[in-house]
Amino acid sequence: MTLASQIEAYLTRVTGGPVKVSGVARISGGASRETYRFDAQTPDGVRGYILRRDPPDSLIETDRSAEFLAIASFAGKDVAAPRALWLETRGAELERPFFIMGRVDGGAAASPFQPDPYGPHADAIGARFFEVMGRIAAEPLRDLPLLQVMDAPAPEDCWRRELDYWEGVIDADEAHPQPIVRAAIRRLRHAPPPPPKRVGVVHGDLRSGNFLHDGAGRILAVLDWEMAHLGDPLEDLAWATDPLWSRPDDPRVSGMIAFEEGVRVWEKASGLAFDPEAFAWWSLFASVKAQAIWISSAKAWSEGGAEPVLLFSGWFTARAQDLILAARLKALGPL
């Protein structure tokens, strides 16, 4: 049975009418799910969709319910979230857990490593990127679908919950001793950040490369919500501005706009004041979280994962992250 016929059987059942599926093709789209595009013809016409299905191995162990509900939490709101349509946590006709969302056509995602990825539209893309980030942070939690699968932490617990989780990932997946990231973890525990003024939705992987843009200055869709959670909104700002996502020869954030300009836009959209002390903590944390992901990736590759992205992340990206972490620790000085 082909994947197309499996999707067809599923959609025919859940929509209660005849569905013809065509054009199923795997695309690059995040490393934690298999991502496919397809078209479905119903009596109402032909529409484009995206299928996100759990793979046999994954770069990040995440809950597809949280990803689906995070996207659904922003339906119709001004953050360019796709349309979340169907979720199957048991796999149903497709054998592995999956969800389906509406496809956004006509856009492309930039590689974080390519030079000048947005060309003459960098200012517009950058302003919109930080505006979207601020709007996600500003969203009131009350009645959000995401709350069906997770609780909001107390403000003073945001940092600990995230650091405990990602240190646990390193403990579980580290194959070779990593003194640099371990030193960073100790420093983070030594001086926790001040609590956020407000707990909000954190996208968790909002950065250049995880949104579609139209090549003319518009962001069409924000992707890869698999690490969405509730926490300190500064976490997204720190993650997006980690030096890993910017070329060393370009002072802008990911080839978009200057950091200070991005913060100004974020403050206006989020209604939050930028706290340099808290941001410094979350910046170091962002590099620790990233290294945890790369360590997991290395483990998945060494255990037989065939996807080259696992090796790229676990090897090249991990070493680049060590450079960032080591420079940050040196600048911070002794404890």
Partner 1 sequence: MSPKLPDLLTGLAQAMLVPPPAEVGPDYMASRQGLVATLLILAAQEAEKGPAARRWENAAIAALLDAVREVYPATPRLTTARPDASWSELDAENAALRQALIGLHIAAEARGDAATQIRILTLYEEMAQARRLDLMPNGV
CA 22 to chain CA mean position, Å: 29
Q: Minimum distance from CB of 295 to partner 1 (Å)?
A: 8
d(CA 225, CA 43): 31
Q: Which span (41-49, 57-65, 223-231, 308-316) binds partner 1, by CB under 8 A? A: 308-316
At which residue do the structure tokens 């319910």 appear?
Answer: 65
Q: Minimum distance from CB of 55 to partner 1 (Å)?
A: 11
Would you list the DSSP string of 109-146? PPPTTSSSTTGGGHHHHHHHHHHHHHHHHHS--TT-GG
By CB under 8 A, residue 21 contacts partner 1: no
Q: What angle do CA 93, 95, 96 make, to 5 degrees?
A: 125
**Selected binder of partner 1 within 17, 105, 154, 316 (CB under 8 A):** 316
Across-strand partners of 49? 38, 102
By CB under 8 A, residue 141 contacts partner 1: no
H or E element, residue 287:
helix 276-302
Q: For residues 37 and 197, which CB has a smaller minimum distance to partner 1 in the complex?
A: 37
Tell me the Cα Rg of the chain: 20
Contact set for partner 1, span 1-20 (CB under 8 A) = 2-4
d(CA 311, CA 309): 5
The size of the interface with partner 1 (CB under 8 A), counted in residues, is: 50
Q: Minimum distance from CB of 254 to partner 1 (Å)?
A: 12
Q: Minimum distance from CB of 331 to partner 1 (Å)?
A: 9
By CB under 8 A, residue 318 contacts partner 1: yes
- CA torsion sign for 5, 6, 10, 11 is negative
By CB under 8 A, residue 179 contacts partner 1: yes
Give 325's contacts (C-beta < 8 A, 6+ positions apart).
180, 181, 184, 284, 287, 288, 291
Contact set for partner 1, span 37-96 (CB under 8 A) = none
Contact set for partner 1, span 220-249 (CB under 8 A) = 247
**Selected binder of partner 1 within 45, 56, 76, 334 (CB under 8 A):** 334
Q: For residues 133 and 223, which CB has a smaller minimum distance to partner 1 in the complex?
A: 223
**Selected binder of partner 1 within 178, 208, 254, 270 (CB under 8 A):** 178
Distance linking the first and last C-alpha atoms of the chain: 60
Q: For residues 222 and 295, which CB has a smaller minimum distance to partner 1 in the complex?
A: 295
Q: Which span (64-72, 107-115, 138-146, 231-239) binds partner 1, by CB under 8 A? A: 107-115
CB 274, CB 266: distance < 8 Å: yes
Q: Minimum distance from CB of 294 to partner 1 (Å)?
A: 7
d(CA 46, CA 239): 38
Q: Which span (88-96, 203-211, 237-245, 290-298) binds partner 1, by CB under 8 A? A: 290-298
**Selected binder of partner 1 within 86, 259, 274, 312 (CB under 8 A):** 312
3-state secondary structure (DSSP) of residue 21? strand
CB 54, CB 89: distance < 8 Å: no
3-state secondary structure (DSSP) of residue 211? strand
Which residues contribute to the site for partner 1 (CB under 8 A)?
Answer: 2-4, 24-28, 36, 111, 113-115, 175-180, 182-183, 186, 247, 294-295, 298, 301-302, 306-309, 311-312, 314-316, 318-320, 322-323, 325-327, 329-330, 333-335
